[in-house]
Structure formats: C-alpha cells, structure tokens
Amino acid sequence: AQSVTQLDSQVPVFEEAPVELRCNYSSSVSVYLFWYVQYPNQGLQLLLKYLSGSTLVKGINGFEAEFNKSQTSFHLRKPSVHISDTAEYFCAVRRGGSQGNLIFGKGTKLSVKP
C-alpha cells in the first residue's frame, strides 16, 4: 500500500532563511508525487508535481522539490522564505490507476518569523 510520511509537523524559520520540508513515500508502483499548500482558512493549492523526467521539479512561489527514488524522498525546498510562505504544506502520492486518489501526509506547518 502506498503511504506518505512527513517527518516534521512544524518548521519554524526566520525570513530569508532557506527551508527544507521533508517527505518520504512508499510505493510499489509508478510514483506520481505532489506538494500542496494550504494557507490559513483556505483550500489546497498545487505547488508542484513530479510525474516523470527530470528529478528536480520547480513550482510556484520559488519552491522546488527533488525526487530521489533510491531514498524514496520528495523533499520541498526554498532558498529564501518570506513571511507570506507561512502555511501548511502537504506531500501527496497518487494512488495507481487512471482515477487514483491522492494519499496525503500529515502536513508540515511552516512558520516564517521576521
């Protein structure tokens, strides 16, 4: 069965510092991976996705993630965070099949302090 583990429930960081949010997955089939962001009192917005090809994926708002098959990881990074990046970030893997649902991790709350 597929699963997603987000190793940090909360990550506090100062503005303009780099950040890495960790995500590990388990899957025995082809992997499609996603990062979603949830701002306070809002829905889920797609940040980036890995479907195939280059293992370094760039998304919106300056975020990027690297797919590492040998380590079964898909960590999210940003070289310099802003206050506006304060949100909860969810890593997800798509279950196999043409209509596969998403399996989410528990989320990481990123708190950017001035």
Partner 1 sequence: EPEVTQTPSHQVTQMGQEVILRCVPISNHLYFYWYRQILGQKVEFLVSFYNNEISEKSEIFDDQFSVERPDGSNFTLKIRSTKLEDSAMYFCASIPTSGRLEQYFGPGTRLTVT
d(CA 53, CA 19): 24
- Kindly indicate which of the ranges 13-21, 61-69, 76-84, 103-111 contains the residues binding partner 1, using the contact rule CB under 8 A: 103-111
Which parts of 10-69 interact with partner 1 (CB under 8 A)?
A: 32, 34, 36, 42-46, 49, 51
Q: Retrieve residue 32's tokens.
A: 């499609």
What residues have CB less than 8 Å from 25, skipping those under 6 apart?
Answer: 2, 3, 4, 5, 31, 33, 72, 73, 74, 91, 93
Q: C-beta of 6: minimal distance to partner 1 in Å?
A: 9
Does 87 engage in binding with partner 1 (CB under 8 A)?
A: no
Q: C-beta of 102: minimal distance to partner 1 in Å?
A: 6
Task: State residue 73 phi and psi, 5-degree precision.
Answer: -130, 160
Does 111 engage in binding with partner 1 (CB under 8 A)?
A: no
Nearer to partner 1, 70 or 98 (CB): 98
Q: C-beta of 36: minimal distance to partner 1 in Å?
A: 7
d(CA 52, CA 67): 9
Does 107 engage in binding with partner 1 (CB under 8 A)?
A: yes
